[in-house]
Amino acid sequence: MITEETDIAVVGAGGGGAVLALALAQKGIKTIVLEQASGPPQGLRGEILQPNGQQVLDRLGLLSKLPIDSTRTVHKFHFCRVGGERLCTVDYSDLPPPYNRAVVTLPNVAHHAILSAIEREPSVSLRYRSAFTGLLRENGRVVGLTAKQGEDHVTVKAKMVVGADGAFSKVREALQIPADLHLYPQGYLIALLDAVIPLEEAKYFVGKRTILGMFPAAGNKVYAFYMIKTGSYDSVKARGIAALQEAWIAIDPSSEPIFRTLTDWKQTAFMPTGRVRTPTWVADGAVLIGDAAHAMNPHASQGRMQAMVDAMTLVDLIPECLAANDYSAARLKRYEDSRRPHVTMLQKLADEQVLFWNTANPVIAFLRDRVFSTLDRNPRLRYRVLSTTAGLRKDPPFTMMDRLMAAGFLPDPSSRDLAPEGIQ
């Protein structure tokens, strides 16, 4: 058994844990990061950096260093009916500069940049093939953890343990923090296709229990996000590539040449979707960040961004904890208090979007399309939605009155105002 000591032990080097490790390193705080995977991730996943995520990368000094040939700026997102009719266009140029755009990267580009930066930092040790196995406690408080590192059993004594180990968090389980883990019946088949015809702007199609998103990426690539039933990836594959292409062509006939570039299932992956709610994110000597604390439906387009913001919020508190030698739940609660309202709002919003966007009910679909059409005509409400998706607005985008206006039941006297209340 190997025993080591550090200030902070982070479990998981995913979207939140990696950002936390780098931010701690930049403050010179001694950190050990344990990641169960054998190396940096290689697979497909959501790669849209919203403005708040760009802000975090900028603060870490990485945004301008992302390889230009692997990143693509996107300004406009067109929401369309299945078949092609445009309902609404959201334009990131309406946001205040410099983060008035979405950035779409090739797979794992931002994550790999963060991991490489960590490897260059002497105060952080990032270990792959290292799986968390349990917590060390003294007098009721967490004082470290145990892990299996390859074939070795390791004990890490730490002033604070951070569970950044995703929706199925083992750290959360060991802390005995109860979690309401909801798995949505639908997940996403992601595909990386070739833009054999130009795709300059993003398109997002909604229909009867149908969602297909198409996002232009660097290197003349296109990400397709196609909603399928959880557990149906194998049967989709069994029906064959041609059947999937036909389904996509029926949704967006104009992109047929792009869909035809799917030639191998290796271009695809399935991502399940889940939501986590927990009564607390902190304990004496331990804290949860990201999906471990609050996974949300990807409709919010904010899960990873929120994990990154958690990390930056926590890193602002840690120097105080170290100075006061106080890692109590009471002190760590300040992190939770500052983050929970925003995250809860996004979780609720994403669930409303699940209800309206994923629907097979014609009445709900009618209302959904009417809201999109109102948003297209109404800059004030559209801006609210945009700034929320961008991660820049912490309050819910709509009041009850706004909802009635959006659904077309009330006129909106301030509909021409773009951002009357500014961004929070």
Ligand X SMILES: Cc1cc2nc3c(=O)[nH]c(=O)nc-3n(C[C@H](O)[C@H](O)[C@H](O)COP(=O)(O)OP(=O)(O)OC[C@H]3O[C@@H](n4cnc5c(N)ncnc54)[C@H](O)[C@@H]3O)c2cc1C
Applying CB under 6 A, which of residues 7, 12, 124, 126 lies at the interface with ligand X?
12
Q: Which lies closer to ligand X via its Cβ, residue 170 or residue 368?
A: 170
Q: Which residues of 128-167 form beta strands (DSSP E)? A: 130-138, 141-149, 152-163
**What string of DSSP letters covers 188-257?**
EEEEEEE-SS---SEEEEEETTEEEEEEEETTTEEEEEEEEETT-HHHHHHH-HHHHHHHHHHH-GGGHH
Q: Which residues of 35-92 form beta strands (DSSP E)? A: 48-49, 71-74, 76-81, 86-91
Cβ-in-10-Å burial (0-12, 13-18, 19+) of 266 comes to exposed
Applying CB under 6 A, which of residues 77, 79, 99, 132 lies at the interface with ligand X?
132
Q: Residue 294 interacts with ligand X (CB under 6 A)? A: no
Residues linked to residue 141 through DSSP beta bridges, in sequence order: 138
Q: Residue 15 interacts with ligand X (CB under 6 A)? A: yes
How many angstroms separate the most distant Cα atoms in the chain? 69
Q: Which lies closer to ligand X via its Cβ, residue 296 or residue 405?
A: 296
Distance CA 8, CA 27 (A): 12
Q: Report the first-to-last Cα separation within the chain, whole angstroms.
A: 50
User: Token digits for 243?
Assistant: 């059947």
Q: Which lies closer to ligand X via its Cβ, residue 309 or residue 406?
A: 309
Q: Which lies closer to ligand X via its Cβ, residue 247 or residue 271?
A: 271
Distance CA 98, CA 95 (A): 9
Please state the closest distance from residue 245 (CB atom) to ligand X, in A: 20
Stretch that binds ligand X, among 13-21, 150-158, 261-269, 366-374 (CB under 6 A): 13-21
Q: Which amino acid is located at 375 in the chain?
A: L
Residue nearest to ligand X (CB): 14
Taking residues 44 to 83 in sequence order and writing x for each that binds ligand X by CB under 6 A, - otherwise, the string is: -xx-x-----------------------------------
Please state the closest distance from residue 131 (CB atom) to ligand X, in A: 4
Q: Residue 31 interacts with ligand X (CB under 6 A)? A: no
Footprint of ligand X on 160-179 (CB under 6 A): 164-166, 170
Q: Are 226 and 187 in contact (CB under 8 A)?
A: no
Q: Are 162 and 314 in contact (CB under 8 A)?
A: yes
Distance CA 367, CA 199 (A): 29
Q: Are 171 and 292 in contact (CB under 8 A)?
A: yes
Q: Are 212 and 246 in contact (CB under 8 A)?
A: no
Applying CB under 6 A, which of residues 175, 199, 307, 343 lies at the interface with ligand X?
307
Please state the closest distance from residue 117 (CB atom) to ligand X, in A: 16
Stretch that binds ligand X, among 21-29, 82-90, 159-167, 412-420 (CB under 6 A): 159-167
Q: Which lies closer to ligand X via its Cβ, residue 267 or residue 415?
A: 267
Q: Which lies closer to ligand X via its Cβ, residue 19 or residue 283?
A: 19
Q: Which lies closer to ligand X via its Cβ, residue 251 or residue 296?
A: 296
Applying CB under 6 A, which of residues 131, 312, 329, 423 lies at the interface with ligand X?
131
Q: Residue 35 interacts with ligand X (CB under 6 A)? A: yes
Taking residues 267 to 286 in sequence order and writing x for each that binds ligand X by CB under 6 A, - otherwise, the string is: ----x-x-------------
How many chain residues are in contact with ligand X, going by CB under 6 A?
Answer: 33
Please state the closest distance from residue 304 (CB atom) to ligand X, in A: 3
Q: Residue 213 interacts with ligand X (CB under 6 A)? A: no
Q: Residue 212 interacts with ligand X (CB under 6 A)? A: no
Q: Residue 216 interacts with ligand X (CB under 6 A)? A: no
Please state the closest distance from residue 59 (CB atom) to ligand X, in A: 16
Q: Which amino acid is located at 61 in the chain?
A: G
Q: Which lies closer to ligand X via its Cβ, residue 66 or residue 406?
A: 66
Q: Residue 34 interacts with ligand X (CB under 6 A)? A: yes
Sequence-separated (6 or more) residues with CB below 8 Å from residue 119: 126
Q: Are 6 and 32 in contact (CB under 8 A)?
A: yes
Q: Which helix (H) or strand (E) holds 288?
A: strand 286-288
Q: Which lies closer to ligand X via its Cβ, residue 207 or residue 290?
A: 290
Sequence-separated (6 or more) residues with CB below 8 Å from residue 54: 63, 99, 101, 103
Q: Residue 149 interacts with ligand X (CB under 6 A)? A: no
* List of residues contacting ligand X (CB under 6 A): 11-17, 34-37, 45-46, 48, 131-132, 164-166, 170, 188, 271, 273, 290-292, 298, 301-305, 307
